[in-house]
């Protein structure tokens, strides 16, 4: 069920659109569709999607009129009119296959996750690679993707003792989501594997490998393949 969008002023140059208050695949799809519509029809807006909200950054002087109307009011009216037909927008997205070496030194929490779920390790890997994920948003750190679509049976609590250093490329489970650490970072998610792909490169024209709305599948690889792909990856 679709809810009315709530508008919230965050700053003179920032407006937040709230679509709901929960983490939900369908709700996030509405956010992504709205972002596509606004980017295509009002290209001067910066659109930053999250789980159930969309941040709009804009130049307030460009939206100021001679009639005394506040830029927020003017922008809200235009955005509302633009999004009236958002249900007709098809969320076009890329699909990326992410190779992952599961377990061992690459996924030190895999056995603990399997025990917590009442499954064996091979079943955890099979379920994790069988799912279709969508990047709900990027956050926490540049290039860190929050992925929706995790098999509910694989949902496990975050660690009670967060690590100070999580290796770059670590694939992890935190609650009902999967994420990938783009750099060496502190973190408390359960580490089940690691990808040799570089998720964030500040020197690239498009620094982040993944973008909100992308579809993701994981593919299990062995340690030798991991090392070969890591050696072949740029940077």
For the chain, what is the total number of helices (H) and then of strands (E)? 5, 13
Give kind and range of the element (H or E) at residue 230.
helix 223-232
Looking at per-residue pLDDT, the higher value among 224 and 81 belongs to 224
The two tokens of residue 14 are 């920032």
- Tell me the pLDDT band of 1, cut-offs 50, 70 and 90: very low
- Tell me the pLDDT band of 204, cut-offs 50, 70 and 90: confident
Q: Residue 177 above 70 pLDDT?
A: yes
Q: How many CB atoms lie within 10 A of CB 117?
A: 17
Model confidence over 63-85: pLDDT tens digits? Answer: 887 676 788 888 998 899 888 86
Model confidence over 112-166: pLDDT tens digits? Answer: 999 999 999 999 999 999 999 999 999 889 999 999 999 999 999 999 999 999 9
| CATH number attached to the domain at 95-232 | 2.40.100.10
What pTM was computed for the model? 0.83
The two tokens of residue 127 are 């379920």
Closest Cα to residue 48, out of 68, 34, 27?
Answer: 34
The arithmetic mean of pLDDT across residues 205-227, rounded, is: 94
CATH 2.40.100.10 range(s) for the chain read 95-232
Helix segments in 21-120, DSSP class H: 25-41, 71-83, 110-117
For the segment(s) 6-88, the CATH number from 3.30.1360.40, 1.10.10.10, 3.40.50.740, 3.30.230.70 is: 3.30.1360.40
CATH 3.30.1360.40 range(s) for the chain read 6-88
Dist CA 74 CA 92 (whole Å): 29
């Amino acid at each position: 069920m679709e809810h009315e969008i709530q508008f919230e002023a965050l700053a003179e140059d920032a407006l937040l659109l709230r679509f709901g208050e929960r983490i939900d695949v369908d709700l996030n799809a509405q956010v992504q569709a709205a972002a596509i519509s606004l980017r295509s029809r009002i290209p001067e807006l910066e659109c930053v999607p999250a789980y159930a909200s969309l941040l709009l950054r804009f130049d307030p002087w460009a939206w100021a009129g001679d009639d005394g109307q506040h830029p927020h009011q003017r922008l809200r009216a235009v955005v509302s009119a633009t999004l009236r037909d958002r249900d007709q927008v098809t969320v076009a997205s890329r699909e990326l296959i992410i190779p992952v070496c599961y377990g061992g030194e690459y996924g030190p929490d895999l056995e603990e996750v399997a025990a917590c779920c009442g499954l064996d390790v091979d079943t955890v890997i099979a379920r994790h690679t069988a799912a279709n994920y969508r990047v709900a948003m990027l956050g926490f750190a540049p290039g860190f993707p929050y992925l929706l679509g995790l098999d509910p049976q694989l949902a496990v609590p975050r660690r009670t003792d967060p690590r100070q250093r999580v290796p770059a490329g670590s694939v992890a489970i935190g609650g009902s989501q999967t994420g990938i650490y783009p750099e060496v970072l502190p973190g408390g998610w359960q580490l089940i594997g690691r990808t040799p792909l570089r998720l964030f490169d500040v020197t690239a024209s498009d620094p982040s490998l993944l973008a909100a709305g992308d579809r993701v599948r994981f593919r299990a690889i062995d340690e030798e393949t991991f090392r070969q792909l890591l050696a072949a990856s740029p940077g």
